Chain A
Amino acid sequence: MPLEIRNLTVVYNGKPAIHNITLTVREGVLTGMVGPNGAGKSTLLKAILGLVPRATGEVWLNGRPMDKPRGEIAYVPQRGSVEWDFPVNVLDVVLMGTYARLPIGRRPGRAEREWAMECLRQVELEELWRRQIGELSGGQQQRVFLARALAQDAPVYLLDEPLAGVDAATEGVIMEQLHRLRDRGRIVLMVHHDLQTVRDCFDEVALLNEHLIAVGRVDAVMTPENLQRTYGGKLVFLQDMD
């Protein structure tokens, strides 16, 4: 069952940050979302999560409206959203992915630790499990966040620019895991910053600039006209892309 976003509007300080977004994200399809800075990409993710108030609109999952997620959505925030000198190690952070499934007051046990180690293995960080998270490189930190989302084992994955500023090895690991999630029938929506790599990364793409400009197969959407409408005059060089 898809994730359906219906007429979603978010207002910041009297001005709409995203306006009347209707978008269906299907399982088994890797969906990207691009748009200029300030287009409301992160805001849309947060509105789906119910973390910012919605002025209008609804989010439906599995045929039911969803106000606040209760673990159905694994969210990978931007790396800058936490303090990396926090006194936790890599495994501690990945274990947080199991919290959504545990009842209140129950701590993760041996089974959860083994599962978290397995998720670390998938992002190729198992040898660093005891490292304090501040001692990791930016790419490794991003992989820790992905491993935490994998540990949550949710039907929906929302990722906020996981490839921003990471090394090539990390990019490879992240995309491989996202393809695996897609092939296992998960719903995957990822905010992306780099137009040049959209074709390599995604099956479908949504262009956002406060409004939803276009959504669909990458080839059908990434036309000069659509990009012009999304980015305005800032992007003339895109003519050369093909």
Chain B
Amino acid sequence: MIDWQSTLWVLLAGGLMATSCALIGCWLLLRRMALLGDAISHAVLPGIVLAFWLTGSRATLPMLLGAGVAGLLSTSIIQWLSQRRFVQSDAAIGITFTALFALGVLLISRYSGQVDLDLDCVLYGEIAYVPWDLWIIGDTVLGPRAIWTLSGVLLITILFTTGLYKELLVSTFDPVYAQAAGIPTRAMYHLLMAVVALVVVASFEVVGAILVLAFLVVPPATALLISRRLPMMILMSVVFGWLAVLLGYIAAHLLNVSITGSMATASGILFALTLLATGLRAGKGRPAISAQRIER
């Protein structure tokens, strides 16, 4: 017997998360910063733990704040390390996120006896719980808490990516020209990082830190295979994101496996199928990733 209401909530939560990730992931991918999403998703851990420790609750807002602060801190450290040329920018990413992540693990293990917070829930999330964590004010049930959080984050993501579309476009395509033309490229970078941190943290509860990366990178990469213009790429990455959520959910039920893992796997399969459908055309894909653009 299928609980249709719960099913719809889970699918909606996944779809909202996938949409935010696709909208912001396209820009990361085009800036050769796809792995920065991964870095942020790990580096926010100590912020979450500290927020939890300070407030003693798993309420969403303090968690978001703590993670947001840690996320911005990590991007600033990465930018500082690579701009001053202490190390290469890929090494700067590697050093920063592993160090902050490890700090988070230390904090969790130190206080795990006293707090109800474990690595599993932070790293992997559990989308199946979405329908049961309800937002209740007085006697009014407002529906699953995650739906509200994810909707708010999606709204901010849409406002950012559409409102500052032309600034994002020119500072991503040609940052040097953009700076010469007076576009605030540095501010765009920091805003983008702030929104990435927001999206990543909001997606924790739904798919967990590690699987956020799949939805940040794979649907945009799939869309880029078949898109010649950016608006089409963005639209198609949203479509691929939703498809991965839907197909992943169905597969999880049929095979009785983890829903989030199944969704991420579905996004990978969609990528492989698209690659095959485009005939493995050489030269269509983008060259190997370099992280040189981070400092801009």
Interface check A17, CB cutoff 8 A: no
Kindly specify which of A23-31, A95-103, A197-205 makes contact with the partner chain.
A95-103
- The chain B residue with its CB closest to the CB of A145 is B177
Give the dominant DSSP class at B's interface: helix
Contact between A132 and B228 (Cβ–Cβ < 8 Å)? yes
Interface check B210, CB cutoff 8 A: no
Known: A71-B182, A99-B181, A152-B181. A105 touches B163 (CB 8 A): yes
A97 cross-chain contacts in B, Cβ below 8 A = 181
Interface check A236, CB cutoff 8 A: no
Contact between B170 and A96 (Cβ–Cβ < 8 Å)? yes
A50 cross-chain contacts in B, Cβ below 8 A = 179
Rounded to whole angstroms, the CA-CA distance of A158 and B184 in the bound complex is 20
Chain B interface residue count, CB cutoff 8 Å, equals: 28
Flag B228-256 by CB within 8 Å of A: 1 or 0 each. 11101100000000000000000000000
Neighbour of A93 across the interface among B164, B165, B173, B228, CB < 8 A: B173
B174 cross-chain contacts in A, Cβ below 8 A = 77, 81-82, 96
Neighbour of A51 across the interface among B166, B176, B228, CB < 8 A: B176
Interface check A86, CB cutoff 8 A: yes
Measured as residues with beta carbon below 8 angstroms from the partner, the interface class of chain A is: 35 or more
Flag B21-44 by CB within 8 Å of A: 1 or 0 each. 000000000100000000000000
| Residues 50-77 of A contacting B (Cβ, < 8 Å) | 50-51, 68-71, 73-75, 77
Contact between A70 and B182 (Cβ–Cβ < 8 Å)? yes
Give the dominant DSSP class at A's interface: loop
Contact between A88 and B230 (Cβ–Cβ < 8 Å)? yes
Flag B75-116 by CB within 8 Å of A: 1 or 0 each. 000000000000000000000000000000000000000000
Rounded to whole angstroms, the CA-CA distance of A130 and B232 in the bound complex is 14
| Residues 158-174 of B contacting A (Cβ, < 8 Å) | 163-167, 169-170, 173-174
Interface check B57, CB cutoff 8 A: no
- The chain A residue with its CB closest to the CB of B233 is A87
Neighbour of B166 across the interface among A87, A108, A152, A158, CB < 8 A: A108
Flag A141-164 by CB within 8 Å of B: 1 or 0 each. 000000010001000001000000
CB distance from B171 to the nearest CB of A (A): 10
| Residues 126-179 of B contacting A (Cβ, < 8 Å) | 163-167, 169-170, 173-174, 176-179
Known: A96-B169, A107-B166. A87 touches B180 (CB 8 A): no
Contact between A51 and B286 (Cβ–Cβ < 8 Å)? no
Rounded to whole angstroms, the CA-CA distance of A211 and B277 in the bound complex is 56
Known: A77-B174, A87-B228. A107 touches B165 (CB 8 A): yes
Rounded to whole angstroms, the CA-CA distance of A170 and B273 in the bound complex is 41
Contact between B177 and A96 (Cβ–Cβ < 8 Å)? yes
B286 cross-chain contacts in A, Cβ below 8 A = 83, 85
Interface check B227, CB cutoff 8 A: yes
B183 cross-chain contacts in A, Cβ below 8 A = 99-100
Residues of A at under 8 Å CB distance from B? 46, 49-51, 68-71, 73-75, 77, 81-83, 85-89, 92-93, 96-97, 99-100, 102, 104-108, 132, 148, 152, 158
Given contacts A75-B176, A105-B164, A132-B228, 17 further A-B contacts (CB under 8 A): A46-B176, A51-B179, A74-B180, A75-B177, A81-B176, A83-B286, A87-B230, A87-B232, A96-B174, A97-B181, A99-B167, A104-B164, A104-B184, A105-B163, A105-B167, A106-B166, A108-B166
**Pairs A–B under 8 Å by Cβ, sample size 10:** A71-B181, A75-B177, A89-B229, A96-B174, A97-B181, A100-B182, A100-B183, A104-B167, A105-B164, A158-B180
Closest 6 CB pairs of A and B: A70-B182, A75-B180, A100-B181, A71-B182, A49-B180, A132-B228
